A and B are shown apart, each in its own frame.
Chain A
Amino acid sequence: MTKTKFLTLLQERICMLDDAEQKDILDEYAQHIDMQVESGMTEAEAIEDFGPMDELAAEILSAYHVKSVAVSASSDLEDMAESGKDMASAAVSATKRGCSKLSRILSGAYGKLLAWLRGVKDAVSKFARGLGGATGKAAKGSGKFLASLKDGSLSFGGFCVRACSVLLRWIWNVCVACLAAVSFIVALCSVFGVGLCIILVAQGYPFGGVTVGLLGAALFAGSLGFLMAKGIRVKKAEGGRA
């Protein structure tokens, strides 16, 4: 093999290193060959002294901790560590994707639930309006019972229907209001309980689970109460319009 061929082959093996590093390495080997030739060797003999190209390249790269074939030993362990890291990161990203999917599903479900509840409210209000509308646009204000009675026509049938619709509305309002009140009370108690539990946990009692449970109850009751409260407002507004 000639010097140039040897250097070309070697350069191919170390091409991933910095240009400066490559030049440094190749220059050193070139100089060594030159000096061997000066002291009487042939180029081929000097190159033979370096040993097989594979081993030489592997040895050179081992100084930079580059993964190479001939340098085995600890690389198996490194491989396992790498694959372990890969699996962990894959698990993390999969969990993230799963969580975002779950949250999307949940919010979708919640939205659907809200829409259904609203649908129910709309149906009931339509029913009540249907009843009220049969006797004309009489009820004004925030659904005052007596006023709506006065403003209606004096026919007995109309009176009955209007009374029924108003009664229905009032029953709905009362139920919803009760539920809302109960929910709010429960929410307040839960919040109070959460505070208590936090203090107890800080003091070292094992109340962690209770705290979380009460927090959940507070959130649930609070949101239920808001839902109900919204239900009342919608009804009243519609009562005003109808």
Chain B
Amino acid sequence: MNPQFKKGVLELLVLEAVSKRDMYGYELVEEISRAIDVKEGTIYPLLKRLTNERYFETYLRESTEGPPRKYYHLTASGVLRAEELRREWMEFQQAVSKFLEEHGDD
């Protein structure tokens, strides 16, 4: 898949993924990788950036299967940001679809 598409949409996917429930880094990366094929390396820095910008809060939770895991939680501004990106994506998607219809399969 075109890497340019992926980069633009990654933030939206990451924020949306955590909106239902808190997730830890590994499972978040796994879920995103299932949806679109991205390098894990791209996701962790993104998580760090979004945390620094206060869209995420992180906390450690003990785990039975190994060392404590860092969980990501969506903050209020994160929720707003997710909604904003979802809106933008919908508009964009509709605009592109419309354009393709007009110029496409005639």
Chain A residues contacting B49 (CB-CB under 8 Å) are 62-63
Q: Give the contact stretch, choosing among A25-33, A97-105, A165-173, A206-214.
A: A25-33
A interface, how many residues as a size bin?
Answer: 10 to 19
Interface pair A59/B40, CB less than 8 Å apart? no
**B44: contacting residue among A29, A62, A64, CB under 8 A:** A29
Interface pair B45/A35, CB less than 8 Å apart? no
Rounded to whole Å, the gap between the CB of A62 and the closest CB of chain B is 7
Interface pair A31/B48, CB less than 8 Å apart? no
Chain A residues contacting B42 (CB-CB under 8 Å) are 51, 59
Alpha-carbon distance between A25 and B42 when the two chains are bound, in angstroms: 13
Rounded to whole Å, the gap between the CB of B74 and the closest CB of chain A is 17
Chain A residues contacting B39 (CB-CB under 8 Å) are 49-51
Chain B residues contacting A59 (CB-CB under 8 Å) are 41-42, 45-46
B interface, how many residues as a size bin?
Answer: 10 to 19
Query: Which residue of B26, B52, B69 has the most chain A CB atoms within 10 A of its CB atom?
Result: B26
Over the window 54-70 of chain A, the binary record of Cβ atoms lying under 8 Å from chain B Cβ atoms (1 yes, 0 no) is 01100110111000000
Q: Given A51-B42, A63-B49, list of 7 further CB < 8 A pairs?
A: A25-B48, A31-B25, A31-B26, A35-B66, A51-B41, A59-B46, A64-B52
Alpha-carbon distance between A43 and B38 when the two chains are bound, in angstroms: 18
Alpha-carbon distance between A211 and B39 when the two chains are bound, in angstroms: 73
Chain A residues contacting B29 (CB-CB under 8 Å) are 32
Alpha-carbon distance between A232 and B42 when the two chains are bound, in angstroms: 88
Taking the complex as formed, is B81 at the interface, i.e. its CB lies under 8 A from any CB of chain A? no
Taking the complex as formed, is A122 at the interface, i.e. its CB lies under 8 A from any CB of chain B? no
Alpha-carbon distance between A64 and B52 when the two chains are bound, in angstroms: 8
**B70: contacting residue among A28, A35, A56, CB under 8 A:** A28
A interface residues (Cβ-Cβ under 8 A, vs B): 24-25, 27-29, 31-32, 34-35, 49-51, 55-56, 59-60, 62-64
Q: Is the interface of B mostly helix, strand, loop or mixed?
A: helix
**A56: contacting residue among B41, B51, B52, B66, CB under 8 A:** B41
Chain A residues contacting B66 (CB-CB under 8 Å) are 31, 34-35
Chain B residues contacting A25 (CB-CB under 8 Å) are 44, 48
Interface pair B25/A28, CB less than 8 Å apart? yes
Interface pair A50/B48, CB less than 8 Å apart? no
| Smallest Cβ-Cβ distance to B25: which chain A residue | A28
Chain A residues contacting B67 (CB-CB under 8 Å) are 27, 31
Over the window 15-36 of chain B, the binary record of Cβ atoms lying under 8 Å from chain A Cβ atoms (1 yes, 0 no) is 0000000000110010000000
Listed A/B pairs (10) with beta-carbon separation below 8 Å: A24-B70, A27-B67, A31-B25, A49-B40, A50-B39, A55-B41, A59-B46, A60-B44, A63-B48, A63-B51
| Smallest Cβ-Cβ distance to A25: which chain B residue | B48
Chain A residues contacting B46 (CB-CB under 8 Å) are 59
**A32: contacting residue among B44, B45, B48, CB under 8 A:** B44
